[in-house]
């Protein structure tokens, strides 16, 4: 699974998203077979960032491998809004990681 600055749970006021959309609730030991590439923006909105941290905590508890690509100075949508060498490098690293897993 690949996720770029995701929301891993519906946020308050998201009427169009079913409450069952919460990957943290379905992570279990069997999830360890699915590698995850997760790109995290350091300047993400706090509500989104909290859902990412909840996911990372649940992944660690269940032995899920997460290749975390951190972009400390990136905002949500950093590859468009923060087109820096660091953001380009993060996109390239995430893509290489996904491709490596697909080839395995």
Angstrom distance (rounded) from CA 103 to CA 85: 27
Angstrom distance (rounded) from CA 14 to CA 49: 16
Q: For residue range 17-67, what is the model confidence (pLDDT) as tens digits?
A: 776 677 888 888 888 888 899 999 999 999 999 999 999 999 999 999 999
Please tell me the predicted confidence (pLDDT) of residue 19.
Answer: 60
Cα→Cα distances 44→4, 10, 12, 52, 84, Å: 11, 16, 17, 10, 16
Better-predicted residue by pLDDT, 13 or 6: 6
Q: How many CA atoms lie within 13 A of 92 on its CB side?
A: 7
Q: Could you tell me the pLDDT band of residue 99, with boundaries at 50, 70 and 90?
A: very high
């Amino acid at each position: 699974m690949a996720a770029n600055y995701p929301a891993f749970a519906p946020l308050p006021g998201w009427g169009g998203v079913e409450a069952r959309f919460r990957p943290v609730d379905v992570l279990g030991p069997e999830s360890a077979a699915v590698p995850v590439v997760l790109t995290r923006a350091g300047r993400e909105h706090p509500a989104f960032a909290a859902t990412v941290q909840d996911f990372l905590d649940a992944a660690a508890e269940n032995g899920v491998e997460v290749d975390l690509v951190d972009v400390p100075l990136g905002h949500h949508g950093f590859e468009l809004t923060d087109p820096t060498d660091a953001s380009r490098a993060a996109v390239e690293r995430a893509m290489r990681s996904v491709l490596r897993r697909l080839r395995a």
